[in-house]
């Protein structure tokens, strides 16, 4: 009996200790509090290079896929800012841009990767590839994810990247490692999704056009706001 009581006491102490340790080690500091997020509507230009906004075009929005099955009152709170626009270069080419910002990046952000979001909207996803985009001389390239989304006659090549804190973390494992890294520092990272897509062009033509659009866009972003899009690079 005495042995059982000792085991119960030790088990209870271990449970309490684990709970206290988890509370102590849980990240508490929001990175978003120390770095002010820009107003995306103001920072992202409506005209740059050869590109001009086409008001009637709107890209697919990063809605929580669970909301398609069961409405989620928190779905709209994952991102505090979203900018979705269509741009034309005046030569018949159109690129759709979506930028979404979330001040708190936790397990929910991974649900908004375009692969999952587009699948929830009825698209088939294929040809996923990793690419490196050089956007400025002397700066490290941005690691970009490329994929194809198809639904009926719609063929939509997509390029995107996700910033978590100061890291570019496009994959599930990368995202978890970034969260863990900041969590060990007691920080909750903020993050952003930057996505571009095209319709009506071949895969090769689409990604070539998207690369040029991204370069033109980042060249037009004010230098002091560029880190929001590219992380620490």
Percent of the chain with pLDDT over 70: 74
How do residues 17-52 score in pLDDT, each as one tens digit? 433 334 434 445 565 554 567 899 999 999 999 999
Task: Provide the pLDDT confidence category of residue 117 given band limits of 50, 70 and 90.
Answer: confident
HEC secondary structure over 78-115: CCCEEEEEEEECCCCCEEEEEEEEECCCCCCHHHHCHH
Q: What are phi and psi of 183, to 5 degrees?
A: -60, -40
**Predicted structure pTM score:** 0.79
Task: Provide the pLDDT confidence category of residue 103 given band limits of 50, 70 and 90.
Answer: confident
Rounded to an integer, what distance in angstroms lies between the CA atom of residue 148 and that of residue 16? Answer: 49
Across the chain, mean pLDDT equals: 80
Residue 133 tokens read as 């985009």
Spatial contact of 95 and 217, defined as CB atoms under 8 Å apart: no
| Three-point CA angle 213, 227, 147, nearest 5° | 45
pLDDT of 228: 93
Residue 63 tokens read as 């809605």
95: nearest Cα among 156, 44, 153: 156
């Amino acid at each position: 009996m005495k042995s059982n009581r000792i085991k119960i006491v030790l088990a209870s102490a271990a449970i309490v200790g684990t709970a206290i340790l988890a509370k102590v080690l849980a990240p508490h500091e929001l990175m978003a509090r120390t770095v002010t997020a820009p107003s995306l509507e103001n920072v992202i230009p409506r005209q740059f290079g050869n590109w001009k906004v086409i008001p009637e075009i709107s890209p697919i929005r990063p809605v929580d896929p669970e909301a398609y099955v069961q409405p989620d009152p928190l779905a709209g709170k994952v991102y505090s800012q979203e900018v979705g626009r269509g741009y034309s270069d005046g030569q018949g080419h159109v690129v759709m841009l979506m930028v979404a910002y979330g001040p708190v990046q936790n397990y929910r952000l991974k649900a908004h990767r375009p692969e999952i979001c587009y699948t929830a909207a009825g698209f088939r996803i294929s040809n996923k590839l990793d690419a490196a985009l050089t956007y400025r001389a002397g700066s490290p390239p941005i690691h970009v994810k490329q994929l194809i989304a198809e639904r009926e006659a719609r063929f939509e090549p997509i390029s995107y990247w996700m910033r978590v804190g100061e890291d570019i973390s496009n994959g599930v494992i990368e995202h978890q490692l970034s969260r863990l890294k900041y969590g060990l520092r007691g920080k909750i990272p903020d993050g952003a999704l930057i996505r571009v897509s095209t319709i009506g062009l071949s895969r090769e033509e689409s990604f070539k056009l998207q690369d040029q659009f991204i370069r033109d866009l980042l060249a037009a972003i004010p230098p002091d706001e560029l880190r929001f899009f590219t992380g620490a690079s």
